[in-house]
Amino acid sequence: MSSELYAGLQWLPKPPEDFKQRCEALLVTEGPVGAAVRSLAATALDGNQLVRLSRTINRLRAGNKDLTPLAPFKLGLVSNSTTDFLIAPIIASAARVGLLVEVVAAHYDQVLQSALDPASAINVARCDAVLVAVDYRGLPLDPAIIGDAEGAQAQVDAALDSIATIRAAIRRNSGAVCIVQTLARPPETLFGNADRLIPGTWIHLTEAFNRGLAAQIDQGDALLDVAGIAETIGLANWHDPTQWNLAKLP
């Protein structure tokens, strides 16, 4: 099994050769177009095709086209990363599972502010759910206390408290379900195979956080296992230091 199976969505049929023309035809089609949109979304679309389909969906929605049977869903997005490039793939991919998604994204690295402020765009929008897409860089985790089990646990507890504060504020101010992601650890190690044994290393910190987060999720919130996704395709593929340093892309 190759990671390309997942990275390339190879379990899905290839998109039609006239994909561009079909998107354009939807804009002038009379009657319901939701089923046709979903049919296009249910193919292995690349990045450019996801953007095209997302733009088509937005134009259909702006033109008050009948998008049944797609179900409307408003998703808030808060992150310590740049999320602009994630919106189109979310909208297009959601159509594959029957959702007509509208994304309301907070500004870069405004996670806590967006959650706590009742007048923030996220809270005012009254989203159905808010994706709290915070990676290890956005939490008080730092492998600086190597070998100090108590110090490492204190960091994990502080990180979990931070996520709990965000979840509680979003629930209080907007009533939305929170979708919280686990942490994909950095692929680099400090001591090779010994990292798993030593408190305070990245693998120790992120695994302890992920266990605590799974135990913390309740009251209708949901868990997005980013750590599991990243491990499936490979941590070295998931993390791109160049993209992070250039544009804070996760």
Containing 100, the helix (H) or strand (E) segment is strand 99-105
CB burial class (10 A; 0-12, 13-18, 19+) of residue 227? buried
Q: Residue 3: pLDDT band by 50, 70, 90 thresholds? A: low
CB 130 within 8 A of CB 77: yes
- Strand pairing partners for 223? 180
Q: pLDDT of 143-173, one tens digit each?
A: 888 999 999 999 999 999 999 999 999 999 9
Q: pLDDT of 47-70, one tens digit each?
A: 999 999 999 999 999 999 999 999
CB 26 within 8 A of CB 37: yes
**Dihedral, 174, 180, 186, 187 alpha carbons, nearest 10:** -150
Tokens (6 digits) for 193? 């195979």
In whole angstroms, give the CA distance from residue 60 to residue 201.
49
**How many residues in total does the chain contain?**
250
Q: pTM value?
A: 0.92
Residue 122 has pLDDT above 70, yes or no: yes
Q: pLDDT of 202-229, one tens digit each?
A: 999 999 999 999 999 876 899 999 999 9
Phi first, then psi, for residue 131 (nearest 5°) are: -85, 115
CB 132 within 8 A of CB 78: yes
DSSP per-residue string spanning 30-99: -S--HHHHHHHHTS---HHHHHHHHHHHHHHHHTT---TTSEEEEEEEEESS--HHHHHHHHHHHHHTTE
In whole angstroms, give the CA distance from residue 97 to residue 249.
26
Q: Which residues 6+ apart lie within 8 Å of 18 measured at CB?
A: none
